Structure formats: C-alpha cells, structure tokens
A and B are shown apart, each in its own frame.
Chain A
Amino acid sequence: QKEVEQNSGPLSVPEGAIASLNCTYSDRGSQSFFWYRQYSGKSPELIMFIYSNGDKEDGRFTAQLNKASQYVSLLIRDSQPSDSATYLCAVRQGSGGYNKLIFGAGTRLAVHP
C-alpha cells in the first residue's frame, strides 16, 4: 500500500462544475499537506497547502483536511478547461523545515467544454 493514495482517474467534469479530488495518507504523524498541479512534461506547481483540520479557501480552490480520518481533498469550483491536468497530493512527514514530500500517484482531471 502506498503511503499516499489517490484515485488515478481520469476524473471528467463539464466546464463550470465542481471537481472533487481526494487523497488518503497512512502516516498519522504527517503534519503538512499539499496539492500540486502538473501539466504533462512540466514541473509540479503548488496550488494549495493546509496544516490544520478544516477548510482552507483560495479563489476557486478549497482544501479540506481531516486528520482523524487521514483524508485531504481539493475542490475546484467553476472548473475551466485550463484546469485539465494531473493533481498530485503530497504529504510532508515530520515537523522539521526540511522534510521530504511523499506524493500520491496523482489524479488526472479532464474538464470538457
């Protein structure tokens, strides 16, 4: 079992809809959680990060964290075709400032007009 699990998709949603991406992790000691967007052949681009239980909103994006359930999600409102990409969930273990990220396999999102 991978330490960070994501549904590989593809997740197909119509333009303007809400896309919901989910991620579970196995290490209860995990402190910080990140969502990166990656276009094919490009580098991961940070979308959101969340440290505390609850919701965190930034524009069209909302990250949700539930440490008791070891679950983190990303909601994308008003999805646009330009949002079509692979979304990587990443978990940082430990509390130091220089700990590696453990990535999930990524969920491929396709937003169709």
Chain B
Amino acid sequence: AAGVIQSPRHLIKEKRETATLKCYPIPRHDTVYWYQQGPGQDPQFLISFYEKMQSDKGSIPDRFSAQQFSDYHSELNMSSLELGDSALYFCASSLGSQGIDIQYFGAGTRLSVL
C-alpha cells in the first residue's frame, strides 16, 4: 500500500539559509500534519491542513510557513535557519473528512543546520 512520501530524506544547510520540505500524503487522504522531533524528544506538532486550509497551528516559529496544494501535497518552508532547527521533521496524513483520525507517518526528513 502507498505510504506518506517525504522528500528529501536528508538535508544539510548552513545557518540563515532556507529549506523546503515536501510531503505527499497517502492517496485520498485530505489532511496533512507536520511534526518536529528533536534529539531524544517526542514529536511536537507544528501545523496541519485540511482540504488545503490551515486547520490547526502549534509551536511553529514565525520563520516557518507551510501550505497544502491542490493535489494535497504539502510543503514546509523554513527560513533564517538556526542551529536549533536541526531535527527530524515528520509529515503525517489522515482521512479527516470521514472522521477517521488515524495518522500515518512518513519516513521523515532529517535536517542538519551547521
């Protein structure tokens, strides 16, 4: 079965650079979530989109923005990167319109800021 696809899998950036992470949800899933997981930490919710509209917002820095496109894929844009942004970034998708709230996670993007 198709899963959540994230790209790139690994990303190395310098401080103050920008990064764009992409997420392709499971086919027919209409809801996308972004989570950030620092070393030894639990995943922290950043932002979510339902039917291309922002549905919830968590502890996402103002330097970050995200959107969901017409094909339901989502992109997380990160600017003015800081050392503390180094983390695993997970995207998850679910079929929110059916009230089925099971979130399936992608393999993640490991971002290293040097």
- Does B100 belong to the interface (CB within 8 Å)? yes
Nearest CB in chain A: distance from B94 CB, A: 7
Which residues does chain B contribute within 8 Å of A100, judged by CB atoms? Answer: 33, 45, 48, 56, 58
Is residue B25 contacting chain A, with contact meaning CB distance below 8 A? Answer: no
Interface string of A35-56 (1 = CB under 8 A from B): 0100001111110010000000
Segment at the interface with B among A64-72, A73-81, A103-111:
A103-111
Rounded to whole Å, the gap between the CB of A67 and the closest CB of chain B is 17
Contacts of B95 in A (CB 8 A): 97
| A/B pair count, beta carbons within 8 Å | 66
Determine the chain B residues whose CB is within 8 A of the CB of A104 once the complex forms: 42
B92 to chain A, nearest CB (A): 8
Which of A34, A97, A105, A106 has a CB less than 8 Å from the CB of B99? A97
Whole-angstrom distance between the alpha carbons of A106 and B43 in the complex? 10
Q: A96-B96, A98-B94 are in contact. Are A103 and B43 (CB under 8 A)?
A: yes
Interface centre among A97, A98, A99, A100 (most CB of B within 10 A): A98
Residue count of chain A within 8 Å CB distance of chain B:
23
**CB of B79 within 8 A of chain A?**
no
Q: Please indicate the chain A residues that have their CB under 8 angstroms from the CB of B58 in the complex.
A: 100
**Hey, which chain A residues are within 8 Å of B97, CB to CB?**
97
- In the complex, A101 has a CB within 8 A of chain B: yes
B42, B48, B106, B107: the one within 8 Å of A105 (CB): B42
B55 at the interface (CB under 8 A from A): yes
B31 and A98: CB pair below 8 A?
yes
Does any Cβ of B come within 8 Å of A88's Cβ? yes
Determine the chain B residues whose CB is within 8 A of the CB of A44 once the complex forms: 43, 90, 105
Instruction: Given the known inter-chain contacts A88-B42, A103-B43, A106-B42, please indicate yes or no for A98 contacting B105, CB distance below 8 A.
Output: no
Query: What 7 A-B pairs are tightest by C-beta distance, nearest first?
Result: A98-B96, A97-B96, A103-B42, A100-B45, A98-B50, A97-B99, A43-B105
A sample of 17 cross-chain residue pairs with beta-carbon separation below 8 angstroms, ordered by A number, consists of A32-B101, A41-B88, A42-B107, A43-B106, A43-B107, A97-B31, A97-B50, A97-B94, A97-B96, A97-B100, A101-B45, A101-B92, A101-B103, A102-B45, A103-B42, A103-B44, A105-B41
